[in-house]
Amino acid sequence: MKSFDFTCTKKDKHSFARSGVIHTPHGDIETPAFVPVGTQATVKSLTPEEITDSGTDLFFVNTYHMVLRPGIDVIKKFGGLHQFMHWDKPLITDSGGFQVFSLGAKRFARKNEDGQGEASLVRISDDGVTFKSHWDGKEYLFTPENSMQYQNDLGSDIHIAFDDCTPYPVTKKQAEKSMQRTHQWAKRSLAAHKNGALYGSIQGSVYEELRVASTEFITSFPFDGFAIGGVSVGESKKEMEQVLSWVTPILPQDKPRHLLGVGEIDDIYTLISHGIDTFDCVQPTRLARMGIVFVDNQKVDITKIEYEKDIHPIDDTCQCYTCKYYSRAYVHHLFHVRELLGYRLATIHNLFFVNALVREMREAIGNGTFPRYNKERR
């Protein structure tokens, strides 16, 4: 068996949903799978053991942030991220493209490229992206070549090709220019790639013609899997679903698909039904730190006064550590007095909840009840 491989175990008869296993050097990932985001090489407030106990097989670390802090040289001294962060299961890193986009200056950078507009934190050219650190103002250049080198040095199991993350809203002409740049960078990323699996990134904004063209172009190259980008930069849920309806039917069946930046509770059935294998999202853990916890697919604000004396667990049916040992009243109290344990307990619950939800859907695909499962859950 190859060090990286994908096996599809079951396909749903009524949709594009499928279950499978992604094989990596650090273990297997049962799919569909939710991928929590560990921006700074940590899922905020949790230990690696707690992440594992939540049912997580794979989590996401941002290359951009690792380059800025602590620096690639520091992580190389440990032999890679796995040793640095005490995590022995699979890891996925991104190219850095989305973080550059999220500096908030990309639209201005596009104007600069055409000779208009004022100076920006970000300068985009066909060579790569020059930007200033939001921490200390130091200037960096990200190219397909050094993005691949950074991800290689980080030692993650899955890398993503450097892409130009198209903003939204955007004209079709601008989206096409961005897509063409992503395609050129994809070829350069593939040429520079060394170790680990490499996913090609599909762009094209909300334009069907561009999304189909990008899918056909990227899948013509020997990538190990495919990442669908540009659907979490302001598009509506309807537009996100449209993009999936154009892209996933023409993706190769023998390779995994990852959806970048999407994973709200009401999105999960939709994206799995369109054939997405893995997907990452910051929302479950970010909401937890705000005191928003998931109960029966609903969001509950545990900081509200109505939970001050509530002796029940967050969710009576949940088997997570938090629900086994703590009451709503106690978690409410922790948030009320701003104790850090509150963030931790809420994060444990939300992460466990999402993983359990996705596991149920995975099992429903396996036993042929996926459509009925959706009706019952809703």
Catalytically annotated residues: 94, 280
Q: Coil, strand, or helix at residue 277? A: coil
Q: Which of 313, 307, 301, 351 is nearest to 333 (CA)?
A: 307
Gap between the Cα atoms of 64 and 71, Å rounded:
10
Which amino acid, 175? A
At what angle are helices 328-336 and 340-367 packed, to 10 degrees? 130
At what angle are helices 172-192 and 144-154 packed, to 10 degrees? 50
User: How many Cα atoms occupy the beta-carbon half-sphere of 231 within 13 Å?
Assistant: 31
Under DSSP, the state recorded for 130 is: E
Under DSSP, the state recorded for 40 is: T
- Locate all alpha helices (DSSP H) within 337-369, ordered by sequence: 340-367
In b/e form, how buried is each residue of 189-218, taking b as 16+ CB within 10 angstroms?
A: bbebbeebbbbbbbbbbbbeebbbbbbebb
Under DSSP, the state recorded for 131 is: E
